[in-house]
A and B are shown apart, each in its own frame.
Chain A
Amino acid sequence: MDETLLRSLAPYVLGILVRRGADFAAAEDAVQDALIEAIRVWPDDPPRNPKPWLVTVAWRKFIDATRADASRRRREDLAEEEPDPGPGPAVDDTLQLYFLCAHPSLTPSSAVALTLRAVGGLTTRQIAEAYLVPEATMSQRITRAKRTVSDVRFDQPGDVGTVLRVLYLVFNEGYSGDVDLAAEAIRLTRQLNTAIDHPEVAGLLALMLLTHARRAARTAPDGSLVPLAEQDRDRWDTESVAEGVEILQGALARDRLGEFQAQGAIAALHADARTAAETDWVQITEWYDELVQLTDSPIARLNRAVAVGEADGARAGLAALAELDPSLPRHAAVAAYLHERDGDLATAARLYAEAARKASNIAERDHLTRQAARLNARRSR
C-alpha cells in the first residue's frame, strides 16, 4: 500500500468532515483514526475507491467519539445515519487547513506538529520520532495546538507567508527517523502549490527541490558533511534540478520577487555549474544583494560575504564581513574560510577551531574541527 498516497487524502477528508459540521479538533482525531485503520485493513482488503472509504470511516469515528464523550452529547443530533455528502470538497479546503495549522497564534513547533498531522496525515508517533521527543509530549503539543486554533473560523483567509515559514522549518530542521521530513516538506509544498497560485510558494518549492537534489552528494559514507565545492556533482539528482529550475523560472516570470525565489535562484545558479570553479559568483552575489534587501537578514549578509569573497577575492569578502556582527552564528566559520583563501593559515586555523566550538550541530562541528586540523597539520610540516 502506498502510504504517501493515503496520507495525501487526509486534508481532503478532514475538509469534508469540517464542512459537515464537525469541529476541527474532533474531526482531525477522527481522520487520524481512519488513516490508522486504513493502514491496518487495506493491505488485505483494499477498497475499490479509497476516498469515500476514508470519508465514511472517518465520519463514523467522529460520531462514535462524539457519542462516547458525554459532554458533547448535544452533537449527537448532527447525524444518526450517513449524512448528506454536502457540497463537494472545495479546492479551498486544503488551503484553509494550511492556514489554520500555521495560524500566527501558534508557536513554530506547534504549527509544525499540527501541519504534519492534520495536513500531512502523519501519526503522532511518527512526528515524535522525527523530532526526538516522547510520544506523550508530541501528543500534548498537538492537543494544545488544536485548542489554540479552536476559535479560528475555518473559512477565514490566512497568510501564505506563515504557511511557508512552517514548511521551510519542516524541510530545514529535524532528524531523519522513520519519516523523511525533507521529502514530506516537498510533498506538502507541492500540494500547496496546486491549491494556490503564488510565486513565493513556487519559489519555496523550487528551493526545496534544488537543495534536495544535492542530498546524496552532501554526506560522505561515514556521515561527515561534504561542502558544496567538493561535492561529486554527478550524484546530484538532475530530474529534481530540472523541475526546480522550471518552477523557479515560472515564478520569477511573474515579477513579484520574494525571499524564497531569491534563495531558489541562488540554489539554481549552484545547480547550473558543472564544476565548483564554473560557479557564477557574480550573479550569486547579486541575488544575495536582493535577498538582503528583501529580508535584511544578517544570515543573508553573512552568506553574501562568502559570495563576495568568491566573486571579488578573499580581501573583498573579508571587507564585507567586517561590517557584520561577530556574534552571528557561523561568523567565525566564514571568517576562517576567507582567511584561508587569503593565505593566512594561522588565523584561519584558529578561527576554524573557534567556529567548531560554537557550532550548533555535530556534523558541522566535526567538519570545522577537521578543517582546523588540516591547516594545523600543513603548518607544522
Chain B
Amino acid sequence: MAKYLLLKHYRGGPASVNDVPMDQWTPEEISAHMQFMHDFEARLEGTGEFVDGQALAPEGTFVRYDGEGRPPVTDGPFAETKDLIAGWYVIDVDNYERAVELAGELSAAPGAGGKPIHEWLEVRPFLAAPPTITE
C-alpha cells in the first residue's frame, strides 16, 4: 500500500513520441483524449486505487515573504520556466510495479491521428507514515 503521484508535465520532461500540440488536433481527437482520461479515472475508482486527480492552469505567480509588516512580493508569470506542471493523479496501489503499470496506461492517451501520445509521466512516491516496527 503506497501512494504515488503521476505527474504530467507540459515542459520539463523529454518530448512525447506523438508530440503534436493539442490545438492542432481535430475536435474528435480532442474528445477522444478527454474520454480516455475520464475512463482512466473511472477505472481507477473501480479498482479502489483512486485518491485524487487535478489539472492546473498553466500560468502561476511566484510569491515570497518580504519581511515583517510588508505585503508578500509577487513575481511572474515567467514565460520561460523550465518546468510546467499540467496536472496529476494520486493513486493508492499495492506496489511500485503497479504504479508504473498505471502510468504506462495513462501515457497511452490518444493524441493526433488517434495514436497514443506516449508522453513521459513522472511517478513519485509519497512520503508515508513511519512504520511501527523498526528493528
Contacts and interface: CB of A to CB of B under 8 A. Distances in A.
Contacts of B132: 171-173, 182, 211-212
Given A140-B45, A267-B135, A173 B94 contact: no
A131 B127 contact: no
A263 interface: yes
Contacts of B48: 109-110, 113, 137-144
Contacts of B130: 225, 361-364
A134 B135 CA distance: 32
Contacts of A150: none
Contacts of B1: 108-109, 112, 131, 169, 173
Contacts of B51: 132-134, 137
Given A133-B51, A137-B48, A137-B50, A207 B133 contact: yes
A42 interface: no
Interface in A126-158: 131-134, 136-144
Contacts of B45: 136-137, 140
Contacts, number: 87
Interface in B8-51: 45-51
B3 A132 contact: yes
B10 to A, nearest CB: 27
A108 B128 CA distance: 17
Interface residues of B, number: 23
Contacts of A143: 48
Contact of B133 (A113, A171, A175, A359): A171
A229 B52 CA distance: 40
Nearest to A142: B48
B135 A361 contact: no
B125 to A, nearest CB: 7
Given A133-B92, A136-B45, A137-B45, A263 B125 contact: no
Nearest to B92: A133
A195 to B, nearest CB: 23
The interface size bin for chain A is 35 or more
A360 B50 contact: no
B94 A172 contact: no
A172 B135 contact: no
Contacts of A131: 1, 92
A175 to B, nearest CB: 5
B69 interface: no
Contacts of A144: 46-48
Contacts of A174: 129
Contact of B131 (A132, A172, A365): A172
A181 B48 CA distance: 20
A228 interface: yes
A276 to B, nearest CB: 12
A362 B131 CA distance: 11
A138 B131 CA distance: 21
21 contacts: A107-B94, A108-B94, A132-B92, A133-B50, A134-B51, A139-B48, A142-B48, A144-B46, A169-B1, A173-B129, A173-B131, A173-B132, A207-B133, A228-B135, A303-B135, A359-B127, A360-B127, A360-B128, A362-B127, A362-B130, A363-B129
Interface of A: 107-110, 112-113, 131-134, 136-144, 169, 171-176, 182, 207, 211-212, 225, 228, 263, 266-267, 270, 303, 306, 359-365
Closest 10 A/B residue pairs (Cβ): A141-B48, A140-B48, A363-B130, A109-B1, A361-B130, A362-B127, A107-B94, A361-B128, A175-B129, A172-B132
